[in-house]
Amino acid sequence: MTVKSKHVTIKGIKDGLVFLLDDECDLQQLLDELRYKLEHSHQNILTGPIIHVDVKLGKRIVTDAEKEMILDILKQKGNLLVRSVESPLAEEDRPKEGQLTTITGIVRSGQVLQHDGNLLFLGDVNPGGTISCTGDVYILGALRGMVHAGAEGKEDAIIAASFLSPTQLRIAEVYSRPPDEWDHRESSMEFAFLRDGMMQIDKITNITRVRPDFKMFKGV
């Protein structure tokens, strides 16, 4: 189901709604149309049980205040629960080199989590779920889905997980071995990295061999 107007498109997906907002029109015009649509149109899909909403702003770069104006309009409908807002990052908001962003949750089958920079994910990645990241990916949880690190060609990116049993790993343009080779993995945390263009797996305690800049606690 897809409901269209001049600047706002509401698209039904398996587990909610996607609001596609025009990235070329005046922001105030967009806000007015979004408000009108929620107040006067499509009450059959905008009332009733809780509906998860993903908002896509295209190429429009918004400030925190402008993003909050959009969210305030959506929150007027008590059954709409905003799950994500996708828009390009303003230059000052882009992650700095080496910066680590923490996200908590579960990546379920059919879901894709995309991130610009290095990511610490607290939770599980289920079979059929995907994380795609331009930097490193560290998962404090079980990785049973797919992870793509170094998605823009960063070959020194790494992928680490508390329990490493993925359907597939990818670093830059290099793919891991077939899924059936991941049976009976080590119970300790492991990480994947590239060496001479080949995917390698090692225990996390050996990460300093790949990343000498990481500090190791040696005890007393």
Q: What is the pLDDT along the chain (220 residues), one digit of tens a residue?
A: 444 458 888 888 888 888 899 988 899 999 999 988 887 765 666 666 778 888 898 888 888 888 889 988 888 877 788 888 887 655 445 555 667 889 998 999 888 898 888 999 999 999 999 999 999 999 999 999 999 999 989 999 999 999 998 999 999 999 986 555 555 555 678 999 999 999 999 999 899 888 887 776 665 5
Q: Is residue 214 part of a domain?
A: no
- Indicate the residue among 86, 116, 144 that finishes a domain: 86
**Within this chain, do residues 99 and 203 fall inside the same structural domain, yes or no?**
yes
3 state DSSP class of 32? helix
- Indicate the residue among 86, 107, 136 that finishes a domain: 86
**Within this chain, do residues 115 and 146 fall inside the same structural domain, yes or no?**
yes
Q: Quote the pLDDT of residue 1.
A: 43
Q: Is residue 219 part of a domain?
A: no
Q: Is residue 142 part of a domain?
A: yes
**Within this chain, do residues 101 and 201 fall inside the same structural domain, yes or no?**
yes
- DSSP string covering 143-210: E-SEEEESTTS-TT--EEEEEE--SEEEETTEE---GGGGTT--SS-EEEEEETTEEEEEEGGGGGGT
DSSP 46: S
**Within this chain, do residues 102 and 49 fall inside the same structural domain, yes or no?**
no
Q: Is residue 185 part of a domain?
A: yes
Q: Quote the pLDDT of residue 180.
A: 57
- Indicate the residue among 86, 116, 147 that finishes a domain: 86
Q: Which domain holds residue 120?
A: 95-209
List the CATH number of the domain containing 141: 2.160.20.70
Q: How many domains does the chain have?
A: 2
**Within this chain, do residues 181 and 120 fall inside the same structural domain, yes or no?**
yes
Task: Name, in order, each residue with C-beta under 8 angstroms of 117's C-beta and a sequence gap of 6 or more.
Answer: 94, 95, 99, 100, 101, 133, 134, 135
**Within this chain, do residues 38 and 117 fall inside the same structural domain, yes or no?**
no
Q: Please give the Cα distance from 7 to 113 (Å, whole number).
A: 26
Q: Quote the pLDDT of residue 45.
A: 62
**Within this chain, do residues 103 and 168 fall inside the same structural domain, yes or no?**
yes
**Within this chain, do residues 100 and 82 fall inside the same structural domain, yes or no?**
no
**Within this chain, do residues 19 and 50 fall inside the same structural domain, yes or no?**
yes
**Within this chain, do residues 40 and 80 fall inside the same structural domain, yes or no?**
yes
**Within this chain, do residues 162 and 179 fall inside the same structural domain, yes or no?**
yes
Q: Is residue 14 part of a domain?
A: yes
Pairing mode, strands 159-164 and 190-195: antiparallel
pTM value is 0.58
Q: Please give the Cα distance from 118 to 114 (Å, whole number).
A: 11
